Amino acid sequence: MLRWRKLATVLRREYLSRVKTRAFWISTAVVPVLILTFAILPSLLITSTGGHYTVVVVTPDTPLVAEIQRILAASEAADTGLVGKLDVTLHQVEPAADAAGQRTELKRQVVAKDVNGVVILPAGILVDGKAEYISTNVSALRLMGRLERAVAAAVVHQRLTGAGFAKDKVDALTRPVDLTAVRIAEDLSESQKGAAERSFMLSYVLTFLLYMTMMFYGYYVLRGVLEEKSSRVVEVVVANIRPTELMLGKIFGIGAVGLTQYALWVLVLLNLTLVGAMFGSPLTEGQAAYLSPTLMVFFVVFFVLGFLQYSAVYAAVGAAFNTEEEAQQMQVVASLVLGLSFVLMFPVMANPDSTVSVVLSMVPVFAPMLFFLRMTIQSPPPWQTVLCLVLLVGSVLATARFAASVYRVGILMYGKKPTFREILEWARRS
């Protein structure tokens, strides 16, 4: 039977000893900045892929080159500040009788940085659709993709006009489609402006926040146990409190530190949203539809359950070994499992209702991140939410029981590093 007063004493000590430190307040201020950096940096890098490029086009078909340039100009006009302007200028060159010599000379120009690349359009391109792009950098995916789409569209245009269709008719029939992403909220309201970008940003940021804080505070538990064990303070402590009470007090206390940090971040976010709404900032426009109270409640629920699950494992690892070096192997295993959840978030984000996504999000070790990720994209069926929480709670209880058994024996053991079989034997006997 747990003595809740003893447990509360440990909880209060673990909580206050961390909240009063400078490290807590520095991390509270720095972590949101780092997360925003991770979220915004990819967009800035995409913007840096813009600029002016000069490309030589080897073909005798002047109308084809003019059509390619027209399509490129239309694409440039559609560029936004998010992705940066990509300006491509084409210079037509007639094919020479000495094709090999001309190719060598053009390659020299590319290497000398006189031009960025060379597109070779053979005479039979309207029939077989074969073309070449020559450059020192064939990993400039944005430039190459734009050139490929422009050449393909221009070839289709030329084929149709060559088949006798009127040019204005061809322009009308091949006009590109502007697909606008419309996100539907639970109340059936619609939002269009930046819906796709905001949905991705919310999913990525919140899931990344779960990943970082669960790993960070779980490791806090491990370090705390190792420090007490190495300094032999734990021998004095367990003379007045049971090992299980000590373990749960440490886990709950450090978990409360994490919840305090979340509360501070939410308060800052609410204030920023309020100020942004007062001044009509586009950064906060429509955020209320995404950051619903229900979603925030589940964010806390999944953090608590995920933290309890992983921190119990970290506590058992800390109790079973004597130094951080000895515990490193088992610690890496737990970290890799948590990290695998972060890797799997991208296929789940792409298709949250697929069988694979549903099954993965139900696995307790992945559920805190993957199921919550699905909730940020669209609401799963209620039965899936209930089943996920039941499985996760069951996993937390089973993990806590296993960890308590290992902790009870390992917290007072010194010297020999235990094997995995011995750790399982401790759990079986307890």
**422 CB neighbour count, 10 Å cutoff:** 16
Average pLDDT for 275-294: 49
Is residue 33 in some structural domain?
yes
Instruction: Give residues with Cβ within 8 angstroms of 390, minimum separation 6.
Output: none
pLDDT one-digit tens code per residue, 201-253: 667 777 777 888 788 888 878 877 777 776 666 666 666 777 777 778 878 88
User: Within this chain, do residues 332 and 400 fall inside the same structural domain, yes or no?
Assistant: yes
Closest CA to 303 of 213, 205, 222: 213
Cβ contact 293:266 at 8 Å: no
Closest CA to 250 of 367, 404, 365: 404
Of the ranges 159-168, 402-411, 417-426, which one carries the lowest mean pLDDT score?
A: 417-426
Residue 283: strand, helix, or coil = coil
User: Within this chain, do residues 253 and 134 fall inside the same structural domain, yes or no?
Assistant: no
- Looking at 178, 206, 228, the residue that finishes a domain is 178
User: Within this chain, do residues 13 and 147 fall inside the same structural domain, yes or no?
Assistant: no
Is residue 186 in some structural domain?
no
Is residue 187 in some structural domain?
no
User: Within this chain, do residues 73 and 206 fall inside the same structural domain, yes or no?
Assistant: no
Q: How many domains does the chain have?
A: 2
Tokens 């902790």 found at: 407
- Looking at 146, 178, 210, the residue that finishes a domain is 178
d(CA 99, CA 89) in angstroms, rounded, equals 23
380: left (phi over 0), alpha (psi -120 to 50) or beta: beta
- Looking at 153, 178, 203, the residue that finishes a domain is 178
Q: Which domain holds residue 221?
A: 4-43+193-429
Reported confidence tier of residue 287, pLDDT bands at 50, 70, 90: very low
Q: Determine the Cα angle at 178 with ends 176 and 180, to 5°.
A: 160
User: Within this chain, do residues 157 and 278 fall inside the same structural domain, yes or no?
Assistant: no
CATH classification of the domain holding 84? 3.40.190.10
d(CA 57, CA 35) in angstroms, rounded, equals 43
Is residue 401 in some structural domain?
yes
Which tokens in the block code for residue 115? 């031009």
pLDDT one-digit tens code per residue, 140-163: 777 888 888 888 888 888 888 888
User: Within this chain, do residues 262 and 366 fall inside the same structural domain, yes or no?
Assistant: yes
Is residue 183 in some structural domain?
no
Whole-number pLDDT of residue 278:
45
Residue 256 has pLDDT above 90, yes or no: no
Does the pTM exceed 0.75? no
195 or 215: which leads in pLDDT: 215
Reported confidence tier of residue 180, pLDDT bands at 50, 70, 90: low
Whole-number pLDDT of residue 385:
92
Cβ burial of 249 (10 Å; 0-12, 13-18, 19+) is buried
User: Within this chain, do residues 39 and 54 fall inside the same structural domain, yes or no?
Assistant: no
User: Within this chain, do residues 55 and 33 fall inside the same structural domain, yes or no?
Assistant: no
User: Within this chain, do residues 341 and 391 fall inside the same structural domain, yes or no?
Assistant: yes
Reported confidence tier of residue 183, pLDDT bands at 50, 70, 90: low
Q: Report CA Rg, the chain.
A: 30
Calculate the CA 53 to chain-centre distance: 32
d(CA 222, CA 312) in angstroms, rounded, equals 9
User: Within this chain, do residues 333 and 406 fall inside the same structural domain, yes or no?
Assistant: yes
Reported confidence tier of residue 50, pLDDT bands at 50, 70, 90: low
User: Within this chain, do residues 223 and 290 fall inside the same structural domain, yes or no?
Assistant: yes
Closest CA to 334 of 217, 209, 203: 217
Is residue 134 in some structural domain?
yes
User: What's the mean pLDDT when you consider all of the chain?
Assistant: 77
User: Within this chain, do residues 165 and 236 fall inside the same structural domain, yes or no?
Assistant: no
Check residue 154 and report its DSSP letter. H
What percent of the chain shows pLDDT beyond 90? Answer: 8
